[in-house]
Structure 1
Amino acid sequence: MRAIRGLWRWRSNPLRRPTDLAEAWLALVALVVTLIVVPVAGAAIGTAAQDSLQRSVRDEQRTRHLVAATVVRPLGLTALEDPDSPSTRRTQSRVLAHWTAPDGTPREGTTLADLETPHRGDRFAIWTDEHGRITPRPLDRATATSHALLAGVGAAAGAAGLVECGRLLILWRMRLRRYALWDQAWNRTGPDWGRTEAGS
């Protein structure tokens, strides 16, 4: 909006310098580019991230399985950061457990169990791949969508920042050029400043 007001103000002002008009045009062009590029960049990156993440969701939900594991023996407690609440720590039990893989293979290994006081024979659920190796919980659709949205917003903010940095860089160069022209004009006028016979 300032660019439009600036263009209107400088349209026929006798004090207008070429650099004033150029700065106003630069601001207007930056505004138009921002209004076009920022939403397009955000939408493009967000859509690409959404497609990729939803494909990952489908793959993980197809290849990861929730199976029942049985405690062989407890190994102690482990404090973990809760991903849903960064300020909260939760305690899980480390146990030696055995389970049957989706392909029917018996498995045994160390894992974390959501059991406060695990005892031999207690059952709990774990996520495994098709061969029975322990894996993290599969990504859900809502989380994937929120990550894609954040990626789109980040891309839009980055595009806006790049446009503004470009505008500021060009403006800085224009001002350096203006100061150089002022110095040249002052060097031509300075020696004669205030002399009556100089015609000033």
Structure 2
Amino acid sequence: MGAISGLWRWRHNPLRRGTDLAEAWSALAALLFTVLAAPVIGCLVGAAAQDSLQRSVRAQQQSRHPVTADVVRALDRAPPDGDPGMPAGADPRSRVLARWTAPDGTARSGPVTAHLKSPRPGDRFGMWTDDRGRAVARPPDPAAATTHAVLAGIGAALVAAGLAEGCRRLAVRRMVRRRYAAWDRAWERAGPDRGLTGAGG
């Protein structure tokens, strides 16, 4: 609104300079870009991210399979960030040597992370494997992918708005410098008396 009122105020003002009008136009352009173009950019980026992330989620869901594994023996405690798909507040993770059957029917074994507080031999737990039966992380949730896409869109819109404001400030700074330089030249042309009538006479 300040940009629009600035344009209206400078429209027929006899004291108007070219830079004054240019500053008002740059402010209006930045405002329109922020209000109109930045949300469109955010929507486009969010939609592209949503499409890409959901394709990745579908691909991982098709290539990862839930299986049931048997604990052979407990190993060292797993690090706290062992499984990013584990919900907050879930039981502590434990590192175990386990046996499971791959999707192709072959027997597999190896060290894996189990969501068991005190694993004992013979305990059973769920895990995920790829098509070859290798232990993998749980496939991402479609809702989480949508959240990431929305955040990407919001971030893109904010970056676009910030770039518009940054360009406006840069343009205004250059105009102010040119205005100061013009004032300096005007003072130099006025001479040492600075335009005072009768000075030095």
TM-score by length of 1: 0.91
Matched residue, 1:181: 182
Please state whether the residue corresponding to 1:72 is helix, strand or coil.
strand
Please state whether the residue corresponding to 1:139 is helix, strand or coil.
coil
Change (3 A) 1:170 1:87: farther
Q: Distance in 2 between matches of 1:194 and 1:52?
A: 69
What's the CA shift for 1:83?
5.4
Structure 1 gaps of 5+ residues are none
Change (3 A) 1:195 1:60: closer
RMSD (Å), alpha carbons = 2.2
What's the CA shift for 1:170?
0.8
What's the CA shift for 1:137?
0.6
After superposition, what is the alpha-carbon deviation per residue over 1:34-61, rounded to whole angstroms, capped at 9, x for unaligned?
2222011101100000001111111111
**Which structure: greater strand fraction?**
1
Q: Distance in 1 between matches of 2:179 and 2:34?
A: 26
After superposition, what is the alpha-carbon deviation per residue over 1:91-124, rounded to whole angstroms, capped at 9, x for unaligned?
3111000111101111111111111111111110
Matched residue, 2:141: 140
Matched residue, 1:44: 44
Q: Distance in 1 between matches of 2:115 and 2:150?
A: 31
The answer to whether residue 95 in structure 2 is matched with residue 100 in structure 1 is: no
- 8 Å Cα contact 1:79/1:90 also seen in 2: no
Please state whether the residue corresponding to 2:76 is helix, strand or coil.
strand
What's the CA shift for 1:194?
5.8
Matched residue, 1:22: 22
Aligned identity (percent) is 59
TM-score by length of 2: 0.91
Matched residue, 1:6: 6
Please state whether the residue corresponding to 2:93 is helix, strand or coil.
strand
Please state whether the residue corresponding to 1:192 is helix, strand or coil.
coil
What's the CA shift for 1:85?
10
1:42 maps to a residue whose letter is G
Please state whether the residue corresponding to 2:16 is helix, strand or coil.
coil
- 8 Å Cα contact 1:80/1:90 also seen in 2: no
Alignment of 1:66-85 (within 5 A): 66-81=66-81
Please state whether the residue corresponding to 1:36 is helix, strand or coil.
helix
Structure 2 gaps of 5+ residues are none
Matched residue, 1:53: 53
Task: Compare 7-16 and 108-117 and name the one that shifted more.
Answer: 7-16
